[in-house]
Structure 1
Amino acid sequence: MKIVVQVKLLPVSAYDADALAATLRACNRAANAASEVAFAKDLKRRNMLQDAVYHRLRAEFDLGAQAAVRTITKVCDAYTTLKANIKAGNLGRDGSRRRVRAESRPISFREGAAQPYDDRMLTWNLDARTVSIWTVAGRLKHVPFVCSPEGLELLRSRRGESDLVMRDGVFFLVATIDLPEPEVFEPGGFLGVDLGIVNIATTSDGEILAARRLNRYRQRHRDLRTKLQKKRTKSAKRVLKRIRRREARHVANTNHIIAKKLVATAERTSRGIGLEDLSGIRARVTAKKDQRARLHSWAFAQLGAFVAYKAKRAGVPVVHVDPRNTSRQCSECWHVHRTNRVSQARFECRSCGSIMHADHNGSRNIAHRADAVWQRGAVNRPRTSAS
């Protein structure tokens, strides 16, 4: 399985920082020039595009041989991704249908867009925590970087390319790590997880991870952004620029913590994890005006992705089930009726009289459905010795 490790570069001087920034600008301007040729002459394969633009990129943008090759590959990969997205049905990040224009103009790259580096352009010294990296101003040697101890250990398994990224004037290297994938164990049941806005996650064990603090945090940031945008002063714009990614980082950190907890619980109890397939939920659900911000900032896809990859690393099976009627079906007698859901938090079965927290009831239904899907034969079932 592939995961990524992000390290932060600490340029030792302003000259080093300017050289890295100039490198990204030059590579992405070269990528735009190559993209125009690829679009105009329909040269989307690397060898064909390289024959057409290689010498031009080196001469006009002062790129090294490998930098030119990596830039051309980046352009071809971008067109391949665009074609795959259109062919796949124009799906959005949350699985909802969205309109994607066909190739009506060349793909453009921001001046600060990521640039891939291979081992000829980038050398890691993990013991000293430094890198030697190519730039348009020459190779910068002994550039320090910082990362977590776990990330440093993962970097020892690094293979292939790394990406140079700049965010808010800070430089990062994003490395791809190829780890051996553990065998998925045979679960002794499933931990159902109901994802929601009021409660981020509720498990079939009855544990409720409320979103009250996270929603208040989001509301404070929305109010602050509104206040600063109304001011329209230079200082307000500087504050907006400084805090623009703070909320996203906080949400991602919260989702990492929750995903780690869910996977640890499932692994400790030898169970799999059952999740709802919420693809296209935003397109299906209508929300009042005062609820739209909460609905569209709901990071259920990110949490699901975190659970999936952490479970994969631990060998925990994950099964996605149909979410229909999980909130209306009684987890005791299986009676389904819309009036069973009395309120957001209360569930009362009209057939057997069971009363419980609505999200807990939903998570139990998810656990039952996941177990049924697994028994019928899931795609990620472990191989037996006979097979």
Structure 2
Amino acid sequence: MKLTAKVKLLPTPEQRGYLLETMRRFNAACNHISAVAWETQTFRQIPLHHRVYHAVKDRFELSAQMAVRANAKVVDAYKLDRAKLRSFRELGAITYDDRILSWKLTASSVSIWTLQGRQTIPFVAGAYQHKLLQTRQGETDLAYVGGEFYLFATVNVEEPEPVEIQDVLGVDLGIVNLATDSDGERYSGKYLNSVRHRHRRLRRKLQKKRTKGAKRRLKKLAGKERRFAHDVNHTIAKRIVEKAQRTNRAVALEDLKGIRQRVRARRPQRSTWRSLKRAWLHSWAFHDFGQKLSYKAQRQGVRVV
């Protein structure tokens, strides 16, 4: 079973500059490769590699393997959509392999290729992430998020033997009660919804001010609500999976297709807040919850239907 371990890099100010310049140069190379691919309608990896490899190495001063990785990033992008020219953000993520990034787990550091040569940079991670990294296998993504550098490493975790199923635990999802299982246990969304409303009200207030201080505050708040919702998803999914494992049951999850169109806000909700219907029905991450429940169940040998 493949998972992703996320760790935070702690570069020096000098190394930070090296990483930023490497990301800019790498993504500029990707944009160049993308233009060639679009102009010549060459979207397969090997033919495109022959067209751009030497030019990319010389023009952007990338190593051989970095040129290969840039080509692979462009090819992957066109696998999703060939209807338009693909472009890449200046500080978009870079995918490293073991030739250009090596891990030193005992020292909690990595040796990573940059335009200024190899740099040894420490990282910080919790015990859970360190344990996952013991089974690291494959590529690692370097991403610049919120002014910080993170590594997302692919790890391979062994799956346990499936639990012997004796019954099924049904799970119904909602908004007032985020989840309700067939035993009658409810996982209330009251606190989460109050947090969402408070953040929504604060954002609206700050946006009206339009001052520098308000903008700084908005930037600081960005993503806070989403991270909180993801944490709630993790907690509820973990409790449901533990219950199913303890009672030797599979988990039957509600089919969420069309949930946005099926669910309607009640009349009292409409009269309380004008935007409540739209905000409540479209802010809860049903898909995210389903993904978290599925992978947690798979790690515990619990079947999900």
TM-score range, shorter chain: over 0.9
Whether 2:290 is the aligned partner of 1:304: answer yes
* Corresponding position of 2:232: 254
Letter of the 1:34 partner, please give it: I
SS of alignment partner, residue 117 of structure 2: coil
Aligned partners of 2:10, 2:75: CA distance in 1, in Å?
31
Aligned partners of 2:61, 2:3: CA distance in 1, in Å?
33
Whether 2:199 is the aligned partner of 1:213: answer no
* Corresponding position of 1:318: 304
Greater radius of gyration (CA) = 1
* Corresponding position of 2:55: 56
For residues 196-255 of structure 1, what are the alpha-carbon distances to aligned partners after superposition, in whole Å with 9 as ceiling and x for unaligned?
Answer: 100111111221111011001111111111111111222222222221111111111111
* Corresponding position of 2:9: 9
> Does the CA-based 8 Å contact 2:163-2:245 persist in structure 1?
no
Shift of 1:294: 0.6
For residues 321-356 of structure 1, what are the alpha-carbon distances to aligned partners after superposition, in whole Å with 9 as ceiling and x for unaligned?
Answer: xxxxxxxxxxxxxxxxxxxxxxxxxxxxxxxxxxxx
SS of alignment partner, residue 114 of structure 2: coil
Instruction: Report the TM-score, using the length of structure 2 for normalisation.
Output: 0.94
- How many residues align structurally? 297
For residues 56-86 of structure 1, what are the alpha-carbon distances to aligned partners after superposition, in whole Å with 9 as ceiling and x for unaligned?
Answer: 2222222111111001101101111236xxx
Whether 2:107 is the aligned partner of 1:128: answer yes
**Which consecutive residues of structure 2, in runs of 5 or more, have no partner in the other structure?**
none
Identical aligned residues as a percent = 49
Aligned partners of 1:220, 1:315: CA distance in 2, in Å?
39
Aligned partners of 1:23, 1:260: CA distance in 2, in Å?
39
Q: Among 91, 94, 111, which residue is 2:90 paired with?
A: 111
Q: Among 124, 149, 166, which residue is 2:144 paired with?
A: 166
Letter of the 2:94 partner, please give it: Q
Letter of the 1:156 partner, please give it: Q
Whether 2:175 is the aligned partner of 1:176: answer no
* Corresponding position of 2:174: 196
Aligned partners of 1:303, 1:290: CA distance in 2, in Å?
21
Aligned partners of 2:172, 2:263: CA distance in 1, in Å?
17
Letter of the 2:77 partner, please give it: A
For residues 121-148 of structure 1, what are the alpha-carbon distances to aligned partners after superposition, in whole Å with 9 as ceiling and x for unaligned?
Answer: 101000010101011122112x111111
Aligned partners of 2:4, 2:222: CA distance in 1, in Å?
23
> Does the CA-based 8 Å contact 2:253-2:304 persist in structure 1?
yes
Instruction: Report the TM-score, using the length of structure 1 for normalisation.
Output: 0.74
> Does the CA-based 8 Å contact 2:264-2:277 persist in structure 1?
no
SS of alignment partner, residue 46 of structure 2: helix
For residues 236-293 of structure 1, what are the alpha-carbon distances to aligned partners after superposition, in whole Å with 9 as ceiling and x for unaligned?
Answer: 2222222111111111111111111111110011111111110222144455653110
* Corresponding position of 1:338: none
> After superposition, where does 1:1-387 map in structure 2 within 5 Å?
1-11=1-11, 13-82=12-81, 103=83, 105-141=84-120, 143-285=121-263, 287=265, 289-319=275-305
Aligned partners of 1:81, 1:156: CA distance in 2, in Å?
32
Aligned partners of 2:67, 2:22: CA distance in 1, in Å?
12
Letter of the 2:192 partner, please give it: L
Letter of the 2:74 partner, please give it: V
Letter of the 1:74 partner, please give it: K
Q: Which of the two has greater helix per residue? A: 2
